[in-house]
Each structure stands twice: as C-alpha cells, then as structure tokens.
Amino acid sequence: VSYQPSFNEINLGRVQLTVRTSGHDPCPAATDAIDVSIYSAPTVNAGSDQTLCVSNGLVTLQTLVTRATSVFWSGGQGTFSPSRTSASVVYTPTSSEKDQGRLDLTLTATGK
C-alpha cells in the first residue's frame, strides 16, 4: 500500500496513518497507527564559476543553502576560512593549485 501526503501534510511536516479492521465474529476489530515525519531535501548552490588573477590568491565563495543540517567543502588542498564545514567561505589555494591554473571545489549539503 502506498500513500501520497497532501500539500497541507507536507507543509505540516507530519501525518498520522491509521489502519482499522472491521473484525469478524469471534474476533474483535483492531486499530493501529503510525506517525510519519516528512522532511524536505536540502538544496545547495555553490555559486558561479570564477576566474581570478593568480596575484589575488583568494576565492570568495558565496553560497545558497536551504534545509541543511550540515555542509562540507571537498576538493582543494588549500585553506577554507572559517572552515570546510561553513557554507560561505574564503578559499586560499596552494602554490601548486595556482600553478595548475584550475581548481574544482564541491559543496555537499546534508539534511535530516
């Protein structure tokens, strides 16, 4: 059996489903219920691609994250300030990353 929650149930974030039997002599009717929590998936936007001068040395990453309980930046050998677990950071690439001329950073968001 499958159940599609209503718009209101989704907005409320929960629904209670109840199953009832009609019973049949000599067995009485029975009832049981289950509470279902409904969570929306997190969304993440790591920002636009950037082109920088090597002399600048800093990459400012402005992100948009919703409904996330945590975030984590992966890739890069440089420094994330304030940390790899902050949504918006300033990244300082290493000398070898500057020499390569390209760097890929990925932002991952985790929800409930």
Q: What is the pLDDT of residues 61-87, one digit of tens each?
A: 989 999 899 999 999 999 999 999 999
User: What is the C-alpha separation between 61 and 38, in angstroms, rounded?
Assistant: 31
Please tell me the predicted confidence (pLDDT) of residue 82.
97
Q: Is the pTM of this model over 0.85?
A: no
pLDDT confidence of 15, banded at 50, 70, 90?
very high
- Average pLDDT of the residues in 26-47: 92
For every residue of 70-98, DSSP letters joined together read EEEEES-SSEEES-TT-SSEEEE--HHHH
